[in-house]
Each structure stands twice: as C-alpha cells, then as structure tokens.
Structure 1
Amino acid sequence: MINLFTFLVEKLSLLCNLKVFFAATSVQGPDRPTQRGPPLRRGDLLEVPRTLFTHFGIYLGDNKVAHLIPDILPMLTHDRRLLRSVVTNKRLIVGCVYKCASVRVDTLEDFAYGSRILVNRMDGGAAAKALPGEEVARRAEALVGSVPYSLLWNNCEHFVTHCRYASAASRQTEQFCEYLKSLIRDQRSILVTGMLGIVSIVFFGMAPSTTLPTILIPFTLWMAG
C-alpha cells in the first residue's frame, strides 16, 4: 500500500510539474544575469527564481555553475559537443518523464537564463552550518555526470543542499507534499476520484484497466487520509 501511494504521489507530482517546467524555462532565453551584492565566491549556493519554482546551483568560480537538471540527451548520445549545449525545453521535459538527469557545468549566463540570481539565501534557515566554500565546490564537481532524477526525492535542491550542508533536502518538495496531504485529507478528493472511476467504467466498460483504479485510488486516498 505504501509503494502504491508513493507511485501515485510521484505520478501526480510529475503531471503538476511538467507544465511548471515548460512554462518556467520558456519565459526568456539566456541573457546576462542580474546579481547584486559582493562578487560570487567559489562554493556559493545560487538560486534562480522561475515562474512557480526555484532552480539551484553551486558556483565553481571562473563564471561556471554546477547544477542538476533533467536531460534525456545523455541516454541517447555520448557526443560531448551535443551534451555541452544548453538544455532545451524538450530535452528537459523528456528527461523529467524518464527520470534522467545530469549534474553539469554551465556558464553563469546559461544557468541563470536571464533571471535574477540570489546567493546563499538558504544559509540562515538551514539546520546545518554551511561547509567551507572549497569543500562545497569539490563535492559538486565530484558529482558531475549522469544521475537518476526524481521531482520529489532527487532534484536540483537536493543536490545543492548535499553539497553545501552535507544533508540533502528540498524545501520545495516538503511544501508540495504538504499540499498533497491537504488534498488527501479533503474527503471530497475521494468522492471525485470515485465518481471519475465510475464514469470511466460506464463509458469504457468493466475491465481491469477501469475497475482496479476505481477501487484502489479512492481506497488509497481514504487510508492515507
């Protein structure tokens, strides 16, 4: 039952976030980023606000940023020239669907994608103290390459918190899970999913593909609530 619930949460989060990723990454193209304050230092944790989420990276110095981003291309080719090109919306979305990502090093401009950069904003609210900048950068560099991806359990925020605080966590994931819990606690969610299941049976007939979701999904929501 726990595995089924985890599967449902993953799929729901995927559907919710694919639109978010597409809208957020297609707002504007790479441009000179806006960054206020003192010069960036090696090991700084960078945040780039998007439309409905925040993208994170670790500054490596020399105008380079390491960041974890969904990308399908590493599964299709080993051509380094192609892999070094900026990740497009299609590459990102398909990589997200197939849970394929990479920790890659891009220029500050490509990472920021024209957005304003926030520096080390997590430090004040983090449970652990930030590691020395050089160690943070080395941890990030050691992870460069293809990695499995999950919107909930292994995203760009998990990557940077692992590097800077030695403890992977994602505030965005926690907030999203709290939102899902509020939906699950709402008994109307169970009624709606049950009614949709009955409608699917009426229109498509009694079959495992229609009957099982009609029973299992409302039951899972009821048990989880």
Structure 2
Amino acid sequence: MASDKPKPRVGDLIEIFRTFYRHWAIYVGDGYVVHLFPQSDIMSPMTDKAIVKKELLSVVAGRDKYWVNNKHDGKYPPLPGNKIVQRAEELVGEKMPYSLICRNCEHFVNELRYGVARSDQVTYAFVAAVVTSLVLVVTIGISGFIGIMLGS
C-alpha cells in the first residue's frame, strides 16, 4: 500500500483489486484481516461453501493493490470498531454458505461493518447485464423492422 493512503483502522473495509473482481476483507488490527474465502476457485459458479479466515493483509493481498474503502459510511452508520472486530473474530474458522450473487465476500464485510449485507459488484453486474440485454433486443427489433421495410 502506498504511504500516501490512509492506514487501516480496526473495522475498516479493505478492497483488494484482483484481475477480474474485487476481494473484500475487514481489518481487525495488527496487520490482520478477516475475510470470506471460497473453498474452491473464486470464479467458479459451483462454489457454495466458504470459510472465514483471519490472515495477514499482506498475505491476502499478495502483490495486488488494496485500499481502505468504507464506501457506505454516508448511507449506513458503521458499528463501533471493537464490535466489528469481535463479530468478525467470532466467525473465524466457520464454514458458511457462499454465492457470487447473494453471499460473497463483499456481502460478508458489509454485514460486519454496517449490519447490511450488500454487494455493489453484483448490483453493477446485474445492471450491466440488463442494459446489454435491452440494447440487444432493440438492435434485433430495429434490424427486423428494417428487414421488413426492405422486403416490402
């Protein structure tokens, strides 16, 4: 992490920039984070179980960039840092249901910090899929209309 970026404080959300997605963790102090880790390949839609791990942030992030991103603090009041850490550490070692759509690592950390499970990655992907579908339907409709008009 660059020195000009804020150092994490207990209870902070940590966004880790992977190649095709963002991984999320919660900072619990002394260089450690708690995060939800799928028990098979993260990109596999067949993954349905995950384990809650406590690991060094440097290990979880590896060579990937990361930053503190408490992006919903303006919308939801965060729980006190010590309460977030307590809740997170009580879950370490637990196996939990996992779903890319409704129970991923971003849902997990937002639930710990705000008491609200949400994933903007899922929301943005859903909106993109809807927009793409609408564009495709309109394009097919226009193509069909032009074909009818030229065929007349």
- What is the TM-score of this pair, normalised by structure 1? 0.55
Task: Tell me by how many angstroms 1:128 deviates.
Answer: 0.6
Q: Could you say which structure has the higher strand fraction?
A: 2
Work out whether 1:63 is the aligned partner of 2:31: yes
Gap change, CA 1:175 and 1:65, over 3 Å in 2: same
Percent of aligned pairs with the same residue? 34
Contact 2:12 2:70 in 1 (8 A): no
Gaps of 5+ in 2: 142-152
1:101 corresponds in structure 2 to 50
**Counterpart-to-counterpart distance in 2, 1:48 and 1:42:** 17
Is structure 2 residue 114 aligned with structure 1 residue 146?
no
Question: RCO greater where, 1 or 2, for CA within 8 Å and sep 6 or more?
Answer: 2
Distance 2:62 2:3 in 1: 13
Aligned residues: CA RMSD: 2.4
Is the Cα–Cα contact under 8 Å of residues 52 and 96 in structure 2 kept in the other structure?
yes
Give yes or no for contact 1:183–1:189 (8 Å, CA) kept in 2.
no
Contact 1:158 1:168 in 2 (8 A): yes
Partner of 2:18: 50
| Shift in alpha-carbon separation, 1:38–1:92, aligned structure 2, 3 A | closer
Instruction: Return closer, same or farther for 1:49/1:93 CA change in 2, 3 Å cut-off.
Output: closer
Query: What is the SS of the residue equivalent to 1:176?
Result: helix
Figure out how many residues of one structure are paired with residues of the other and give that number: 139
- Structure 1: gaps of 5 or more residues: 1-32, 73-90, 192-225
Q: 1:189 to 1:162 in 2, by over 3 A?
A: farther
CA deviation digits over 1:72-102, x for unaligned, max 9? 4xxxxxxxxxxxxxxxxxx5456x5232211
Point out 4+ residue stretches in structure 1 off by more than 3 angstroms.
Answer: 33-39, 91-94, 188-191
Secondary structure of the equivalent of 2:96?
strand
